[in-house]
Amino acid sequence: MHRGLFIPILAMIIVFLDVYVYQAVRILISRFSLWARRVAVSGYWAITAITLTVIGVFAFLEDTFPNRVIRNIIVVWILIHILSKTLATVFVLADDLIRIVRFAGRKVLQFTDKKVVIPGKPISRSEFLAKSAVIAGAIPAVTMGLGMLGGAYNFRLRKKTIFLPHLPSEFDGIRIGQLSDIHAGSFYSKSPIESGLNLLMEEKPDIIFFTGDLVNDHAKEVEPYMGLLKMVKAPLGVYSVLGNHDYGDYESWPSAEAKRQNLQKLIAFEREIGWDLLMNENRIIKVDGQALAVIGVENWGKGRFQKYGDLQKAYVNAGAPVKLLLSHDPSHWDAQVRPGYGDIDITFSGHTHGFQFGVEIGNFKWSPSQYMYEQWAGLYQKGNQYIYVNRGFGFIGYPGRVGIWPEVAIIELKKG
């Protein structure tokens, strides 16, 4: 639909939903004092006015919006408003349907027998359903609002131990730190990034893996955080790969050369901060004559994502008893890694963010992400092969997280 039509239609839908849901709000506040009712009504319609204003500003500035983070917040505000009012509408509509059925029933009985006395109170809007409508509408607004205020920076340290029977004794107990999906362009300040990186460095990992998506689109996004990222160091090195966002595929570039230069700038930045970026290649890590292979592929994912990765090329000369693969997209594991490379012991991925929304309680976890990715958060095993999917350090799109918190992972390898 053309934007010239979409924007006014969207505005009309919002006004309709707000007018309809207001009927429930009016019932809910009917027992308030006059002053409280005025405040509630003013607040309700003020939010509607803000949303309509935001839609107008977004429509006018979308193509030239100066700040992507603010643009995302605007989009999320609009989505929260529509979702909240839509959920509330379900309950208000249910009440209206009940009233219609009761009204029709009364009319039928009165028509068939004029002497029938209809018991009960006159038909009125249900206070219970009115309250339910308001509560249902408030839930997404509150949860997503809190997710924006604190969830995006609620870093969690997650630890796992993996036992490998053929792990050389020199690597027994090696601790691998993993970061993924920093998305530097989504952060507002240095403080949250510093907090998360400190969480990693306090664990003193022996080796660190970064599994892609350092930026959203532009290499320049990482420049303000170069000093912080230089603190990410480990005795056996820091190894990284590119994610789908690192290539700038979702940006409109003035030319193919501009896009290529952006990627080269990002590659240069990673090398400047001391990370060993693996572009379809591998490194052999040696300790006291024993070896471990770190294999890194460029982004490769099933479906619509660009396939830059070349696992066959990356695998060449990766001769070591234990092979660890860095591959941004976890769909690569079932599609290529397991069918063709049975001696790759562990794959480290990210990409999914756990959808930045879900529930994790003990061993139970749920997220919409699981309907798109079989492996979407945490450790998985098939046969003698493992994959660890990092929930991500940063965020993109929705500037927050609900239930699926940003992650710093420590994976310890043990012989056994």
**Count of CB atoms situated within 10 Å of the CB of 286:** 13
Instruction: Tell which residue, 393, 349, 388, has the closest CA to residue 162.
Output: 388
Q: What is the pLDDT of residue 102?
A: 75
Contact between 277 and 240 (Cβ < 8 Å): yes
Mean pLDDT of the residues in the chain: 88
Burial 11-41 (b: 16+ CB within 10 A, else e): eeebeebbebbbebbebbbeeeeeeeeeeee
* pLDDT at site 85: 86
Q: What percent of the chain has pLDDT over 90?
A: 59
Please compute the mean of the pLDDT values over residues 45-72 and round it to a whole number: 75
Q: Which of 373, 272, 281, 264 is nearest to 325 (CA)?
A: 281
**pLDDT (mean) for 97-104:** 79
The residues facing 407 across adjacent strands are 156
Which residue has better confidence, 67 or 356? 356
Between residues 1 and 334, which one has the greater pLDDT?
334
Structure tokens at 368: 């919409």
Banded model confidence at residue 129, pLDDT cuts 50, 70, 90: confident
Q: Each residue of 168-213: pLDDT tens digit?
A: 999 999 999 999 999 999 998 899 999 999 999 999 999 999 999 9
The domains found in the chain, sorted by start residue, are 3-149 (no CATH), 154-415 (3.60.21.10)
pLDDT given for residue 166 in this prediction = 95
Least confident of 21-30, 32-41, 190-199, 248-257: 21-30
Please check the confidence at residue 1 and state whether its pLDDT lies above 50: no
In this predicted structure, the answer to whether residue 261 has a pLDDT above a threshold of 60 is yes
**Which range, of 98-102, 356-360, 362-366, averages the lowest pLDDT?**
98-102
Q: Report the pLDDT value the prediction gives residue 58, as an integer from 0 to 100.
A: 73
- pLDDT per position as a tens digit, 278-305: 999 999 999 999 999 999 999 999 887 8
**H/E element, 136:** helix 127-149
- Predicted pLDDT of residue 416: 85
Q: What is the pLDDT of residue 401?
A: 93
Q: Which of 38-42, 86-90, 106-110, 149-153 has the highest mean pLDDT?
A: 38-42
pLDDT surpassing 70 at residue 142: yes
pLDDT exceeds 60 at position 116: no
Looking at per-residue confidence, does 68 or 185 come out higher? Answer: 185
- Is 247 or 67 the better-scoring residue by pLDDT? 247
CB 105 within 8 A of CB 120: no
Query: Which pLDDT score is estimated for 123?
Result: 44
Q: In the chain, what percentage of residues exceed pLDDT 70?
A: 92
Look up the pTM and report it: 0.82
* pLDDT over threshold 70, residue 66: no
At residue 68, the pLDDT reads 65
HSE (side-chain half, CA atoms, 13 Å) at 247: 17
